[in-house]
Chains A and B, each alone.
Chain A
């Protein structure tokens, strides 16, 4: 195509060779026009990152481009020898990676790293010129105390800061194309928005185009001009953002979009008398239990004031505090103590879903571990069903464990990679005498799997043989098998794709009704929390700022922090400022 800055044609990438080869990018074709923001959206494994890597020739050593062409300014990249690719790198194409924490060299000061790149693109520049350029760029990316940052090491900066530095680093050579691979995934919701704004403004400044790789439709709707939706290595649909979002032509796109939780969605559903479920309920969930969620759900959905008052709270926290001591004795570090949870009081009713939200480091995970008895509180009491687990002797606490169970954020790492899942589920059962024999244990495990909609054949699989969603289901099954009263869900979906997240959320809702469970749900995405929870507590720096009913989220008098969180949610449809911004951008892009 003429006028295209970057044009990719029938690009195919395969892992391995010969019969064993596996096609992971399948005849992908798209253009990125000058000055526009082009987004490739898709779920993990869709091949979007590989596509991006292919452009810069940064494919893994065992991945091969088998066919197709990539040309920049009409100049073919694929056939280019290594040297010319490296010439493209940086000068014409800059790239921002997903994980800002690891993307900067931990051993050098920021200044040093920036200046190195500057020196690379402007060999002529003198020392102080380089210094100035570095400083100006740091300001360009919204870092005011440039001096400090220049002399700082990466680990001394927050994730957001680092991502800003990364952007500066990638764009200071004024590349024609800036590729951003999931630039905000690892960041807090609040920061996410700022980074996206930044990316856009920077690319506008340099007059370059932005190729945005993401899995999040929120991001797309907020930042992209045009979108390509990828699935299993193919582009299923590509067009202007508004079209794709409002009237998706492809079923897959539709399902993805519907899977995105949105503020207030639950109530809209409730008004329409629909069950509180996301997307096409079921997904990879077995139909048997899928329909378990309909009729009954309608009535059951929403907060259940009636029976909550009847029974005393399941969990009550009174002035709970937890302090961590870092370093000291032999660790080689100087001794430091910091307060992770400070004087928190709250209660969780039986059968309710209590949500905890806050930015990373706000102490929500610590709090959940306190409640789950994985950590001991320094002060205050944590009463679970009438017993203060903060004071309980080890042995008794252990006996109590089956009654409150965890589902961890990262299903991959919370499952033991070297033990078959069946084993992992049945071990605790045997341990707590909930199963008399290994056989009985296996039977129970099978039931648990059935609950989460997995066939019992999975008992013999290893975690790595399962998809992310399946792993999380195993995690849930493992917890449920012990028939807990309380399920502590520590960001169970934040590592998952939208559609999978939807399925898990649905599953959780179903299970709560089937098994009359109480949830403590930790999240950082307000939309998800609001969708799932009856009441929400907002944490910041270990302090519980406020708790409120899900319905009262947008109510006046909300704490500013809560507002900020609410603000950070990237809505799918255009609402006020973000929308106009989007339009403005889009408009500019259109001829």
Chain B
């Protein structure tokens, strides 16, 4: 799981000796964010326009043309083990994968954050209780959850989302909890209390804005891992159901033929996921800087 860094404030760093270094300008930050956004938007758009863009029906199996390599005539990115056009499947796959990944990331981030916030502000007892619960979730093998969910709900997208959420929530909770504990000590919280703010008002109107940056960074960091994780689930037959094109499933199905020497079917979706994931990571890091108005030099 991807844990992301907390912002590093600028201040004397003797490790640098006297060598001065350029400092990261707002401009570059925004450039980064826009770039990331462009990439993501691009994929979303492609997903939306799939019917128009995809050269083939993504599910159309043509046993005549299995395992065509990249650049094969008629199949720009080749074909998979059923002779389906990989490019088309990639294009269509974005639909499911992005939805799944975003839904999962969003819900687990929200759930985890709420848990952490409440835990952080409801006294040692309650906090202990909540964090023990988190422990339980940690201690419980995700795979079991997934398999069981699959049995209960029948395999498919909901299972994927749910099990991902279940696996991610404790991590989010742990990270945010750490952040919240920092905030808890800050005087503005006490000030809010002295101004008669209630429990939830403090939580969501005072503290939340201060940990939001962290949450966003972490949440965006999850996206890539989510898709990857969904691929692992597909490998166990409890992922997104066939024939729906889905990057995760493409990876796991492609993996079934790597040893046989056909690397593309797994490699290509893998790369796509990578790009999307990186885009989200950048977005997160960028957003943190944008979010946090105080990111100016300290010391002096």
Contact = CB atoms under 8 A, between A and B. Distances in A.
Q: In the complex they form, do A and B come into direct contact, defined as C-beta atoms under 8 angstroms apart?
A: yes
B173 to A, nearest CB: 17
B182 to A, nearest CB: 11
A82 interface: yes
A291 to B, nearest CB: 31
Interface in A453-511: 462, 464-465, 475, 478, 482
Main SS of the interface on chain B? loop
A108 interface: no
A24 interface: yes
A37 interface: no
A64 B20 contact: yes
Interface string B1-32: 00000000011111011111111010000000
A60 B190 contact: no
B152 interface: no
B188 A415 contact: yes
Contact of A416 (B124, B196, B206, B297): B206
A374 B190 contact: yes
Contact of B125 (A47, A329, A408, A417): A329
A414 B191 CA distance: 6
Contacts of B209: 416, 418-419
Interface in A33-90: 45, 47, 49-50, 53, 57-64, 82, 85
Interface in B250-300: 293-294, 296-297, 299-300
A398 B196 contact: yes
Contact of B195 (A17, A58, A62, A478): A478
Contacts of A17: 22
Interface in B169-207: 186-188, 190-198, 201, 205-206
B249 to A, nearest CB: 41
A58 to B, nearest CB: 6
Nearest to A402: B196
Contacts of A416: 188, 191-192, 206, 209-210
Nearest to B299: A60
B196 A419 contact: no
Interface stretch (A129-137, A182-190, A427-435): A427-435
A85 B195 contact: no
A454 to B, nearest CB: 18
A418 B299 CA distance: 21
A373 B190 CA distance: 11
B124 A331 contact: yes
Given A59-B18, A415-B188, A415-B191, A330 B210 contact: no
A408 B186 CA distance: 11
B128 interface: yes
A479 to B, nearest CB: 8
A401 B192 CA distance: 11
B10 A60 contact: yes
Given A85-B17, A329-B124, A16 B191 contact: no
Contacts of A267: none
A417 B18 contact: no
A413 interface: yes
B14 A330 contact: no
Given A406-B191, A464-B293, A45 B124 contact: no
Contacts of B187: 408-410, 413-414
Given A58-B12, A61-B10, A85-B17, A413 B195 contact: no
Given A45-B300, A49-B300, A414-B190, A61 B16 contact: yes
A555 interface: no
Given A413-B188, A418-B210, A427-B197, A60 B13 contact: yes
Contacts, number: 124
Interface residues of B, number: 41
Contacts of A419: 205-206, 209
B18 A85 contact: yes
B194 A401 contact: yes
A16 B294 CA distance: 17
Most buried by A among B124, B187, B192, B300: B300
B196 A428 contact: yes
Most buried by A among B14, B124, B194: B194
Nearest to B129: A330
A427 B11 CA distance: 34
Interface in A196-236: none
Contacts of A582: none
A464 B188 contact: no
Contacts of B16: 61
Contacts of B23: 15-16, 61-62
Contacts of B186: 413
Contacts of B299: 49, 60
Contacts of A428: 195-197
Contacts of A16: 23
B191 A431 contact: no
Contact of A401 (B124, B195, B296): B195
A465 B128 CA distance: 38
B205 A60 contact: no
Most buried by B among A49, A53, A60, A475: A60
A330 B293 contact: no
Contact of B14 (A58, A62, A409, A478): A58
8 contacts: A59-B18, A60-B13, A63-B20, A369-B190, A409-B187, A416-B192, A431-B196, A464-B293
Given A63-B20, A406-B190, A417-B188, 5 more contacts: A61-B19, A63-B300, A414-B190, A415-B188, A465-B293
Interface of B: 10-14, 16-23, 25, 124-125, 128, 186-188, 190-198, 201, 205-206, 209-210, 212, 293-294, 296-297, 299-300
